[in-house]
Structure 1
């Protein structure tokens, strides 16, 4: 049975009056046997629930944002109704989004990388209508803090999404301006390797996340090119 089929079964059985995130977290832990399956399921649940909470914080869900969400997942036709149900339940649940983020963080044994992936996904959806609104930016920043991401880490991530072609290229790459040319080259090669789709999938993100990986690589490449031109090295 596919991950989406099992997720669909979990969502279908959710009582309308339950504390949604408690129910879903426990169901993911008990339903998925392998760590890879749990990571994939946990990531998918995270993105659906937190996207719903972000839509509530912003006050409106646009068609562009719905399409951006669909870019992240290849949901079988038979499970789309269940995913929509989870999205709507998360919007209506009295539990705040910070409670969601804390519960979700407990599903991952890994370090900060998977949390950065989730934050990247939220930015991808938030900016789909042409800009990241102030309420959305504050929402994502607070989720990042719950996940334990530092202020510099969040600044680095947000700089890739909020007008990256005008942002500080050193901030986008996450490297000190005083770094040598060789240090810049080594750092760039390392973070590009970490953004490879195979690395992302090993962390549990779905194959469709290539859309975000491609955008992230474009921002990193653009920042590196600007530094290279500024310093005039090959």
Structure 2
């Protein structure tokens, strides 16, 4: 791919002669590399590699997270089983997921290596990494009480993916609040207006315009077609769909309170 080098060279020559030509070619080369990398991730082969890596990394880290407090609890096993059901995994996929979960829970599991492989495969798609992190948060919240060691494990995973502790805490607050709203679009008995705002990630003082913008942003982050295009396996889209329904329920709760 020489498009960037050609344009950079022409612009550099026209503005600064030979030195400009050299600088322009160097800049154009960097552009070409970035473009080629983006096209690689967007190719059918690249997307299939991302899907495979997303599936494997998810269950590896689910196992690692479940074992973070020293044991895999019954609620964490039940939640993982629920994920199997939601994903409608076939016998072979289910067996593969269980083996990955057990590998992640093993004493010799290399967390850094697993994350490095995933990040290298999915490239600059931070939204894809955040989606995986949200799946892990869902497991950590399965037993309703997050152990300090589980929280530390999430901080470590998020940090290795390039997310700050502040960003992780925001995701945790949003996930906890979203779970207060059911999939049919209604608030649970334990939910509150404060939960609704937290589920969308805004403060109660936010304007109607800003509220709608953030609501649309959250819905876009969990849109099935967009996630599939980024490389989230189709089997895992149901998890994101559930989150969208919870976000929509929270938004409806806020709208009713503002009428």
TM over 0.5: yes
Residue 52 of structure 1 is aligned with which of 63, 66, 91?
A: 63
Aligned residue for 2:172? 158
TM-superposed deviation, 1:171:
4.0
Q: TM-score, normalised by structure 2?
A: 0.65
Could you say if the C-alpha distance between residues 199 and 45 of structure 1 is closer, same or farther in structure 2, counting changes exceeding 3 Å? same
**Equivalent of residue 174 in structure 1, options 197, 201, 206:** 201
Q: Does 1:122 align with 2:149?
A: no
Choose 166-175 or 208-217, whichever is displaced more.
166-175
Cα distance, 1:212–1:183 mapped onto 2, change above 3 Å: same
Give the corresponding residue for 2:161. Answer: 147
Aligned equivalents of 1:211, 1:33: Cα separation in 2: 22
Measured against aligned partners, the alpha-carbon deviations of 1:124-183 in whole angstroms (never above 9, x if no partner) come to 233334444333233223211211123443223212332543555444323455542122
The structure 1 segments of at least 4 consecutive aligned residues displaced by more than 6 Å after TM superposition are none
Shift of the alpha carbon at 1:99? 4.1
Query: Could you report, residue by residue, the CA deviation over 1:102-127 in whole angstroms, capped at 9, with x for unpaired residues?
Result: 33222211332111111111122333
**Count of aligned pairs between the two proteins:** 201
- Say yes or no: does 1:223 pair with 2:250: yes
Q: Which has the higher contact order (CA 8 A, sep 6+)?
A: 1
1:37 Cα deviation after fit: 0.3
Show the counterpart of 1:14: none
Q: For 1:145 and 1:122, how far apart are their aligned partners in 2?
A: 14
The 3-state SS of whatever aligns with 1:52 is helix
Aligned mates of 1:133, 1:160 — CA distance in 2: 18
**Distance in structure 2 (CA, Å) of the matches to 1:188 and 1:79:** 34
Report the CA distance shift for 1:210/1:95 in structure 2 as closer, same or farther (over 3 A): closer
C-alpha deviation, 1:49, in angstroms: 0.9
Does the 8 A contact of 2:127 with 2:221 survive in 1? no
The partner residue of 2:114 within 100, 117, 136 is 100
Work out whether 1:38 is the aligned partner of 2:72: no
Instruction: Kindly indicate whether the alpha-carbon contact (under 8 Å) linking 2:62 and 2:136 is maintained by their aligned counterparts in 1.
Output: yes
Q: Aligned partners of 1:81 and 1:121: how far apart in 2?
A: 19
**How far did 1:78 drift?**
3.4
Can you give the 5+ residue segments of structure 1 that lack an aligned partner in the other structure?
Answer: 1-31
Q: Note the residue ranges of structure 2 that are not aligned, 5 or more in a row.
A: 1-42, 179-190
Compute the RMSD of aligned alpha carbons. 2.9
2:212 counterpart of 1:200:
no
1:51-75 alpha-carbon deviations (Å, 9 max, x no partner): 1111221311423133134146443
Query: Normalising by structure 1, what TM-score?
Result: 0.71
Cα contact 2:177–2:195 (8 A) shared by 1:
no
